[in-house]
Copies of this chain bind each other. A is one copy, B any other.
Amino acid sequence: MRIVVVAPSCTLKREAADAVQAIVDERGDCELVIHPQCFLSDGHFAGPDEARLAALREVMGDPSVEAVWFARGGYGSNRIAEAALADLPDAAGGKLYMGYSDAGFLLAGLHKAGLDVAWGPMPQDALRPDGDISIHRALNWLVLRDRSALEPQLQTPAMAFNLTVLSSLLGTSLEPDFTGIDLMIEDLSEQLYRIDRTMFHVAASENVRKVSRLRLGRVSDILPNDPEFAGDETAIVKHWCARSGIAFGGRADIGHDAHNRVVPFGTAKS
């Protein structure tokens, strides 16, 4: 199994790359290539749009690459997603693309283009507390298709998104078909009023209203709301589900932490 890491959003930290390489060396069950583009830096991004796009297109078109692993989130994959999906090379198929958070823009577009994608931990997660657990879980899915890595209540077809990313891709060319999907959302570093506003937007979508159920992952590092918001994130999501005729399916085991589980998009090829 040959896995290549590229960074369509922000720069990968060297310490994270080293930690992941050490885990891979110890496991000995795959080959890991960390593309040098991961360490570029251009303002907010891991290099200019052109460099991030070129690295992604290079690995998409390489038949020897069996998994494309997105280095980390942050912000920026949306800026190159449409170009990444144009005139797909044959070699773009037959491999798995994995990441989460900002990488959701690419997951959506790649899935829509018929490719095999999964929400799951990324190399930068190695730096979190218990980050090695994340990395092993990711590799257990990428290399072994070990079902214990999966979100435990997953019903297929499924998808998972950062809520703010999901809101930002609605109405764009990246928006996938949500019909019958077990849709999981999570978020971080937002005030509750923003979560409420984003849920208003997402729940208004006729496409999102076609999900089989909506489940709420963790909303972490909630920023202070002045004044205190009435109700927590679960109350907010339930409110908008009820108003919009969406079945609320309870909590989901995803989030910006070491416990973040894998959610293959669509019907998992396991």
Q: Chain A 58-78, CB within 8 Å of chain B: the 1/0 string?
A: 000000000000000011101
User: Could you say which residues of chain B place their CB within 8 Å of the CB of A42?
Assistant: 230
Q: Given contacts A75-B197, A193-B75, A196-B75, is CB(A43)–CB(B229) below 8 Å?
A: yes
User: Is A44 in contact with B172, judged by CB distance below 8 angstroms?
Assistant: no
Taking chain A's interface residues, is the majority helix, strand, or loop, or is none over half, making it mixed?
loop
A28 within 8 A of B: no
Q: What total of chain A residues lie within 8 Å of the partner, measured CB to CB?
A: 33
Interface centre among A78, A172, A201 (most CB of B within 10 A): A201
Q: How many copies does the complex hold?
A: 2
Find A230's partner among B45, B200, B231 (CB 8 Å cutoff). B45
A234 within 8 A of B: no
Find A201's partner among B75, B76, B169 (CB 8 Å cutoff). B169
User: Is B225 in contact with A197, judged by CB distance below 8 angstroms?
Assistant: no
Interface centre among A167, A170, A197, A231 (most CB of B within 10 A): A197
A41 within 8 A of B: yes
- 4 closest A-B pairs by beta carbon, nearest first, are A43-B230, A172-B204, A75-B193, A168-B201
